[in-house]
Amino acid sequence: MPTPSRPSTFVRWLEPLVSGLWILFFLWSVLVAVIWTFDIGEAEVHRAIHDPDLAAAILWILNSLDVFWLLLAVANVHLAISSSEGLAIARRRALICLSSGWVLGAAAAAFSDIGYTGRLGMRLGEVPLGAPLLWMAVALGSRECALRILPKARYEIVAAVAGLIALATDLNLEPVAQRLRVWWIWHLGVHTRVRVTAQAPEFGSRVLSWILRPSGVTELSWPPILNFVVWFAGPAILTLAFRETVVRDRSREFPRPIIVFLVLNVVFLLGHIPDR
Three-state secondary structure of 15-46: HHHHHHHHHHHHHHHHHHHHHHHCCCCHHHHH
Q: Is residue 1 part of a domain?
A: no
Q: Is residue 230 part of a domain?
A: yes
Q: Which of 267, 276, 209, 271 is nearest to 29 (CA)?
A: 267
Contact 76, 140 (CB under 8 A): no
**DSSP secondary structure string for all residues of 75-100:** HHHHHHHHHHH-HHHHHHHHHHHHHH
Q: Is residue 4 part of a domain?
A: no
pLDDT at 143: 96
Largest CA distance in the chain: 70
Contact 238, 96 (CB under 8 A): yes
Q: What is the pLDDT along the chain (276 residues), one digit of tens a residue?
A: 444 444 456 556 656 766 788 999 999 999 999 999 988 888 888 888 888 889 888 888 888 999 999 999 999 999 999 888 888 999 999 999 999 999 999 999 888 888 898 889 999 999 999 999 999 999 999 999 999 999 888 999 999 999 999 999 999 999 999 888 889 988 644 433 333 333 323 333 333 433 344 333 344 567 889 999 999 999 999 999 998 776 677 777 889 999 999 999 999 999 988 765
Count of domains observed in the chain: 1
Return the sign of the alpha-carbon dihedral for residues 114, 179, 120, 166. Answer: negative
Q: Which residue range(s) make up the domain with 142?
A: 9-275
Helices of type H across the chain: 9-37, 42-48, 52-85, 87-111, 130-149, 155-175, 206-212, 225-241, 256-270
CA atoms of 137 and 142, how far apart (whole Å)? 8
For 155, residues 6+ apart whose C-beta sits below 8 A from its C-beta are 239, 240, 243
Q: Which of 80, 102, 64 is nearest to 14 (CA)?
A: 80
Residue 9's identity, in one-letter code, is: T
Residue 58's identity, in one-letter code, is: I
Q: Is residue 234 part of a domain?
A: yes
Q: Is residue 159 part of a domain?
A: yes
With 0.85 as the threshold, say if the pTM is over it: no
Q: Report the C-alpha dihedral over residues 66, 218, 231, 70, rounded to 10 degrees.
A: 10
CA atoms of 228 and 175, how far apart (whole Å)? 14
pLDDT at 50: 86
Residue 194 pairs in a beta bridge with 220
Return the sign of the alpha-carbon dihedral for residues 151, 153, 159, 160. Answer: negative
**Secondary structure letter of residue 250 according to DSSP:** -
- Is 125 in a helix, a strand, or coil? coil
For 73, residues 6+ apart whose C-beta sits below 8 A from its C-beta are 25, 133, 137, 260, 263, 264
